[in-house]
Chains A and B, each alone.
Chain A
Amino acid sequence: MAMCAALRCVSANFSAALPLLTRPAHIWTCQNSLRPNVLRTLSTSSRLSGALKFTDKHEWVRVEGTVGTVGISNFAQEALGDVVYCGLPEVGAKLEQMEEFGALESVKAASELYSPLTGEVTEINTNLTDNPGLVNKACYEDGWLIKMTIEKPAELDELMDEAAYEKFIKSLDS
């Protein structure tokens, strides 16, 4: 096959959104570092303190400033089994509290994810694309799912704090 003198590579990349993978790594400091199988109980948790709040669907949200980070609890990841795929929303998606925003596929089933709050998605955890198992290995840290704005801070008061959530999951076993 004759190759001509110059090969010109012509590409057109009109995508407005650069792939998130090219962004520099986000350094995220966690005030309460929690190992998956140890839950520290906190006496007070103001809205801005970074404490975890839980839904009865086993999602957690951690508030830092005006941004909430969302993930699933240890109880949930154990019940799910090995996560093989994370179906997450786009950045900019507007979510209502309790609205389905995605699904995690595990060896058990496709499980829907429900938004703990009303707000807009500001970031999704792109590490989960190649490493969905992070949801099992570090559900409160590297296995976070999305970050979102908090449109209705009062919704946080409706959620359970860690102690209440612990009680809640104990009651489920009965």
Chain B
Amino acid sequence: MILRLSNRACVLSGSARLKSTLSTFFDEMGKAGIILKSASTGIFENLALEDWIHDHVDLQNRSMLLLWRNCPVVVIGRHQNPWQECNLPLMRRLGIPLARRRSGGGTVYHDFGNINMTFFTSKKKYDRHRNLKVVTGALKALRPDLDVAATDRFDILLNGNHKISGTAAKLGRTSAYHHCTLLCSVERSVLSSVLKSNASEVIKSNATPSVPSPVKNLLDVDPTLDSNIIMDAIVSQYNNEFGFDGPVITVDPTHEALMPGIQKMAQDLQTWDWIYGKTPKFSVCTSIVVNDVNIKLDMVIKNGTVEQCAMEIPEDWLPSEMVNEFTSALNGSRYCSNEAALLVAAFMRTHSMTDDVAEKIHRLCAGVVSVM
């Protein structure tokens, strides 16, 4: 069962619609406003769903709202630097993946306690303030005393001082999407620890930075507010605000026949080249201290790959040819702790060295990896 129409008795079966795609299905429905819920909690599938809708659905005379939630993940904006924005080693230890979305904006943490909303419109009808009115309107309809308001940065603040929603957007050829988060019951301790970079002081970059803000969950101020209640309220408010009578349709974003090309879109979003390689050029400048010896490390990383690597090392601490070869080995490699570790292991195997030198190279590597 790929499509379920809640509130309607009939269910669409795949075989009856073999020739149709989701796009033609919407055209046939003839509704000006449609609400979708994703059946997936996978970030890449959901980002691909957004892209697919944006690219294939006729949004000139129709608007759509997509509601989705994900398993724990950190999502960075299109032109951001993940090393600067989040704690990648911690995320690896916790099994929290990283995704890069196609819209602009800053870095966010999602888990099941966060609701994502994507408002699809034509470029003409693109209006973030109006979309956010849907969200604040929905919350106030549920709890009239709730102090929630949108700022001119398109954040939504609770009680004037805690951020509960952030916004990002993408403008395409003829259509646009605006998506935002809503913190209902997110794990805040995880959020704050993963969104604090372990290497931001050593990085110099012109990537778009995030604006850190103190956050709160709606659940913190009202334990009776849960995600499902909130999503229902948003659906009603969306229809109210825009004068639609949109049905709510659940979509499975892995269904290739219904959305041709969507699986490749999801795969493209998972490549190293997109997630890390799209990072704007940046430089790393740090000191590694090994047994009271200060080693200066300078690297330039372009497309996520080490383009230049220089180390300032006292002459008698390590043989200079060895240092030369070590930095050459790093050159051209991905700025990635796994790859660096593999390189160093290979380096150790192919170079004969005393235990003392081996120990130093190990410590050097640990220092380099600590900023990856």
Contact = CB atoms under 8 A, between A and B. Distances in A.
A105 B173 contact: no
Interface string B323-359: 1100110011000000000000000000000000000
Contacts of B312: 7-10
B103 interface: yes
Q: Which 5 A-B pairs have the closest CB atoms?
A: A109-B169, A11-B310, A110-B104, A105-B104, A111-B171
B176 A109 contact: yes
Given A7-B315, A108-B171, A84 B208 contact: yes
Contacts of A157: none
B332 to A, nearest CB: 7
A85 B323 CA distance: 37
B315 A8 contact: yes
A15 B172 contact: no
A110 B173 contact: no
Given A57-B173, A105-B104, A10 B313 contact: yes
Nearest to B321: A10
Contact of B328 (A5, A12, A103, A129): A12
Given A109-B104, A110-B171, A4 B314 contact: yes
Interface in A100-125: 103, 105-106, 108-112, 114
B215 interface: no
B205 to A, nearest CB: 10
Given A5-B315, A105-B104, A110-B171, A10 B78 contact: no
A4 B309 contact: no
A11 B307 CA distance: 12
Question: Which bracket fits the contact residues of A?
Answer: 20 to 34
Contacts of A109: 103-104, 126, 168-171, 176, 178
Interface residues of B, number: 44
A130 B207 CA distance: 10
A50 B298 CA distance: 44
Given A8-B320, A10-B327, A85 B207 contact: yes
Interface string A70-95: 00000000000000110100000000
Contacts of B300: 15
Interface in A1-52: 1-15
Contact of B79 (A15, A57, A110): A110
A95 to B, nearest CB: 16
Contact of B206 (A7, A8, A106, A130): A130
B314 A15 contact: no
A9 B320 CA distance: 9
B307 to A, nearest CB: 5
A3 B314 CA distance: 8
A4 B103 contact: no
Nearest to B309: A12
Interface string B93-123: 0000000001111000000000000000000
B352 to A, nearest CB: 20
A11 B280 contact: no
Given A1-B292, A109-B103, A110-B171, A87 B328 contact: no
Contact of A12 (B104, B310, B314): B310
Given A1-B292, A109-B170, 20 more contacts: A3-B314, A4-B314, A4-B316, A5-B315, A7-B312, A7-B314, A10-B310, A10-B320, A11-B310, A12-B327, A12-B328, A13-B331, A85-B207, A103-B78, A103-B79, A109-B176, A110-B79, A110-B105, A110-B171, A111-B170
